Amino acid sequence: MTVLYSFTDLWRAHDIPGVAEMVLAMRRVASLDVELSVEERNLLAVGYKNQVGTRRASWRAVTNIEHKEKRQEGVSVYCSTPYSRRRQGMGGKRLAAVIQYREGIEKELQDICGDVLSVLESHLLPHASSHESHVFYCKMKGDYYRYLTEVARGDARRQAAEQSLQAYQTACAVAKEQLSPTHPIRLGLALNFSVFYYEVLGSPECACTMAKTAFDAAVGDLGQLEEESYKETTLIMQLLRDNHKLWAADIQSNSLS
């Protein structure tokens, strides 16, 4: 009963009113092969982020339920055998339903990421005429390949990780040359790229270095910060500092164990 109730809640969470329509409208604008305005660019990014964000949250919740069910069934959480064939009891049927639902979420997440990446490659990146928009789209490309690594396995995960790394590196190269250290897009790139190092590549040292470097550079340039960007910039700086503290503690803990 608890599992089925959770499924219902998670499914309803996918249907955020207006998001699908906004994404569709902005996708049509992007297909015109023109440079999007900042407002249009942000609407597109927010729409897709909402779509993928609900599914990432649902996937994590269902995966936790799946692991709990597997432990109760006395099998490894890494086993992917179709339990409905192996176990005919209520526990086995419930676990099979959990796995089926998790796989459905993965398919939706992969489809959304694939759509975003197609729009970026075919329409947005080829017509990005400013350094800011180029960094924005390359960062976005890195983000959505990173999301794919969360649900992919084996070669598919390695390929997504490689594509994400390349996109982030391309964005960083341009950002360091063309955007100020306090620019929200440059800081957001450093934040997400450092998360990639920590979560995908399993390198807390590199993640810490990147977060600290970006934070320190921004602190040194705060005198040049424009008032309109102050709130967004300082928020991202706080996130960078929080992550750095968390990861540094993780490194220290591992060194003592």
pLDDT block averages, 10 residues each, the chain of length 257? 38 59 89 92 95 96 91 61 48 85 96 97 96 98 98 97 99 97 97 98 97 97 85 96 96 80
Any alpha helices (H) in 74-153, and if so which ranges?
83-86, 90-119, 131-151
Tell me what pLDDT residue 93 has.
Answer: 82
Distance between CA atoms of residues 212 and 181, nearest Å: 12
**End-to-end alpha carbon distance in the chain:** 41
pLDDT at 229: 87
Q: What's the count of helices (H) and strands (E) in the chain, helices before strands?
A: 10, 0
Res 4: pLDDT: 37
Cα 93–Cα 57–Cα 121 angle in degrees, nearest 5: 115
| Residue carrying structure tokens 């609900």 | 54
**pLDDT score, position 18:** 76
- Concatenating the DSSP letter of every residue in 199-244 gives HTS--HHHHHHHHHHHHHHHHHTGGG--GGGHHHHHHHHHHHHHHH
CB 207 within 8 A of CB 198: yes
pLDDT at position 38: 94
